[in-house]
Amino acid sequence: MNNLITLELVDHEVSIGLSPELKAYLFNKFILDDVYAVSTTDDTGIQFWEDLLNASEKKDIFTLLKECYPQLNFLIEKEIDKIELYKNVVLKGKTDTIKLTAYLKLEDAKNISLELHQSVAGRIPVLIVPNKEDFLKILQSLLHKNNPVSIPPSIGAVLLTDLNNRKRLNNIKKNWLQNNPLGDWNTKFSDNIMSNRSLYKDKFIILSTKPYSNVTASQLGLTEDVWTYYSVSIRKEHEFTHLYTLKKYGHAANNLHDDLIADYIGITKTIWSYNKAWMLTFMGLENYPHYREGARLENYAKESKLSEADFRQLIIIVKNAIENIAIFDKNLGKLKSIKDQTCRIDALCEIGLIDLSSSNGADLLIEIYYENFYQTLF
């Protein structure tokens, strides 16, 4: 398997040994653009969540969420989003007269928690869902319009970045009509509200408490309690990193490059240094070159429709990239500051995965890091 691909870089170009499909998948999508400027300031919607949590202490969290996202009222059923009631409630916002003969129920709604967390890119709501089935239902509802789409067991968190908040929108409508009782709300919405998406679109993180990457505590030689704590921490910092890259580069995706970066920060923020063995296990490569079937790495290949030959090459690329990230982390030592953290993220973004997996990948990564770090001093 080690002879399947030779990574030879000429002026940082991808070698001809890769298929066009794999080249396209590995293309670096983190392009710095002046349009995007990362900020640690809070998004517009944070004040809404602050006020809502302060004013709704007696309501359980799931009830609050259903008021914001009415699709959470509906059962998980195939093509339920095609029925008229669903369209009226979820798309048109006709929630005043909602009457459901059957509605979505959770197994452990009382233990769901919602908090505003400070991230490297500002505060964001974080929902922690302890029950595995509840986590799946919420994802199916919010991501897949209540359709029973299969969610891989290795997925334990999501960053939602474009989620309609019906309660926020209704509040805007109510306030405007109070000041403009004879006004045309539909025209107001079309002309002034719809294009200003930050007024009613949420960024939102949902975390489960199940083992990270579907890796058990025994696989890592940890106790269950410690691994549960670590799993939540890694997930949270992982999603915070996606939020940062979204704000700075306009990009955050379920992509291998993205997730290697996010996992690096997740691990280092949790145990203060990168653990190469953990990362290989997360990807199913703990017995490299053997790949553990059903592990997380295949999720990326399936979504990108890579061939079996491409996947075999991807295994080598990922293994080499993880080795170079480990060298990079050892060279820099423990995280020292937010600036140190963001410069590490930036370096990992600005080097493509092919370069990162090359024989001089660690040197390139370190070079980019120090260029960025010292550039911010002047």
Per-residue pLDDT tens for 293-329?
999 999 998 888 899 999 999 999 999 999 999 999 9
8-12, 34-38, 56-60: range with lowest mean pLDDT: 8-12
Per-residue model confidence (pLDDT) at position 2: 35
Give the integer Cα–Cα distance in Å for 372 and 346: 8
Which range has highest mean pLDDT (13-17, 182-186, 216-220)? 216-220
Beta bridge partners, 128, equal 113, 207
What does the DSSP 8-state code read for residue 14?
Answer: P
Give the residue with greater pLDDT, 249 vs 93: 249
Average pLDDT along the chain: 91
Confidence of residue 375 (pLDDT cuts 50, 70, 90): confident
pLDDT digits (tens, 9 = 90+) for 139-195: 999 999 999 999 999 999 999 999 999 999 999 999 999 999 999 999 999 999 999
What is the residue-wise DSSP string for 98-157? ---SS----SSGGG-EEEEEEEBTEEEEEEEE-SHHHHHHHHHHHHHTT------TT--E
For 116, phi and psi rounded to 5 degrees? -95, 120
As a whole-number percent, the residues of the chain with pLDDT over 70 amount to 93
Domains of the chain, residue spans: 1-29+253-378, 45-217
Confidence of residue 18 (pLDDT cuts 50, 70, 90): very high
Give the residue with greater pLDDT, 59 vs 210: 210
Give the integer Cα–Cα distance in Å for 290 and 316: 11
Per-residue model confidence (pLDDT) at position 3: 34
Give the integer Cα–Cα distance in Å for 161 and 143: 11
Give the integer Cα–Cα distance in Å for 19 and 354: 13
pLDDT digits (tens, 9 = 90+) for 330-348: 999 999 999 999 999 999 9
Give the integer Cα–Cα distance in Å for 209 and 219: 17
pLDDT digits (tens, 9 = 90+) for 306-316: 999 999 999 99
Beta bridge partners, 164, equal 201
Per-residue model confidence (pLDDT) at position 156: 95
